[in-house]
Amino acid sequence: MIKDIDHILIARGAISDRVRSLGEEITKDLKDVGEHEIALVAVMTGSLIFVADLMRHLPMKIQIQLMTSSSYIGKSTKSNNDPMLGKLPDVKGMHVLLVDDILDSGRTLTKIRSELEALQPKSIQSCVLLRKKLDSAMNVPCEYAGFDIEDEFVVGYGLDYDGYYRNLPDIAVICP
């Protein structure tokens, strides 16, 4: 497994520190939202580890709702043009915190936000662990971003290549 890794981009300690501070920012911003009104919508499977760690830093009453999305097919490091979404959660009348692993082309987050907005939530905020320094990503509404990174294909901490490497505790760049 290590032979496929070019280098560690973000070490586990830095990830842990940033996830904690994201939790503090979100908690501060949502402090006045009433009980039973917050839905954390996790985009699986890439955000699995990030969501698990982040929600431990959100000391409020929240619902966890899951949805799936796929924008990579097979052994590709290039996103396809139309992300496929799974079943949307019921978020009508709720404040939604949409959590995903990475914002790169912006197509997935834009499509999910649009679909969720049609379900009439009170509000939607997005949180991503990684945001690529691309115009397409930087121009997508995203209230919380853990790290801004260069346009490299990364794995680890839930992110994968062909279903592998999600279990790495650091975020690493895969060999070209």
Q: What residues contact residue 121 under an 8 Å CB cut-off, 6+ apart?
A: 39, 91, 92, 93, 94, 95, 96
Where do the H-state alpha helices sit in 38-150?
A: 48-55, 107-117, 135-138
Output the pLDDT for position 44: 85
**How do the pLDDT tens digits run along the chain, 176 residues long?**
578 899 999 999 999 999 999 999 999 999 888 666 899 999 988 899 999 999 999 999 999 999 977 765 555 555 556 666 667 778 999 999 999 999 998 998 999 999 999 999 999 999 999 999 999 999 999 999 999 999 999 999 999 998 899 999 999 999 87
The catalytic residues are 104
Q: How many CA atoms lie within 13 A of 34 on its CB side?
A: 5
DSSP lists the bridge partners of residue 145 as: 128
Output the pLDDT for position 45: 85
Domains of the chain by start residue, with CATH? 13-70+77-149 (3.40.50.2020)
DSSP state of 164: B
